[in-house]
Amino acid sequence: MSFQDIFKSSFLENIASISILDMVLSMALAFGIGMFIFLIYKKTFAGVMYSSSFGVTLVALTMISTLVILAVTSNVVLSLGMVGALSIVRFRAAIKEPLDIAFLFWAIAVGIVLAAGMIPLAVFGSVIIGVILLIFANKKSHVNPYIVVIRCESHDSEVMATEFLKKQVQKLAVKSKTAQKGAIELNIEVRLKSENTDFVNTLSEMNGVNSAVLVSYNGDYMG
């Protein structure tokens, strides 16, 4: 192989397979939409502890997906090698919130669509998804289920507390009941009529009721 043949290799020919303008435009759009996804995630987060690193990951994942798909679409041989390389990658990070999975797939999908040249689909699709998430994730808090933990002294106080609670909430369902000698504990799922929780104070002061606790409930009760 001569010195001239080296510069005629397919490796050097791949340099011009994607124009600079396409690369800059795709990565800039990926960054912009990735920031939009990050802002939607920040607005709709409803977990216990907010992680800013996950938001940065969404931006990076959008840009990385765009970069990978740009390379794959420019070379069929490279696409086969990329599939084999990615098939051995394993991610061990735990997903704490189910909605986080939707954001991860959203970031990956945007990167793929952008690299495929479907810019209107990526932009308008992201806007529609973002609006839907804002509407459903930011619904009023009193619609969410809660658990009321009541500790009573007798059956009569249990009936009295339950009847009072029925009048104060929109809906209730007994999830568990623990009965001991001289003590009864009830775990009741409730749907509030409004954001006012003063009824818990009144409930705790009723005769025969030792305590009343209102806690947030994510809907996945483990009995």
DSSP-derived secondary structure letter, 148: E
Specify the pLDDT at position 154. 87
CA 115 to chain centre: 25
Say what angle helices 52-74 and 20-44 make with each other, to 10 degrees.
150
Specify the pLDDT at position 202. 87
Tell me the residue ranges of DSSP E strands in 42-104.
Answer: none
55-97 per-position pLDDT tens digit: 888 899 899 888 888 877 766 555 555 555 555 555 566 666 7
Specify the pLDDT at position 131. 92
Residues of the chain with CATH 3.30.70.260: 141-216
pTM of the model: 0.61
Specify the pLDDT at position 17. 62
CATH number of the domain located at residue range(s) 141-216 in this protein: 3.30.70.260
Q: In sequence order, which residues have a C-beta less than 8 Å from that of residue 143 and are 6 or more positions away? A: 191, 192
For residue 10, is pLDDT > 60? no
Residue type, 115: A
For residue 176, is pLDDT > 90? no
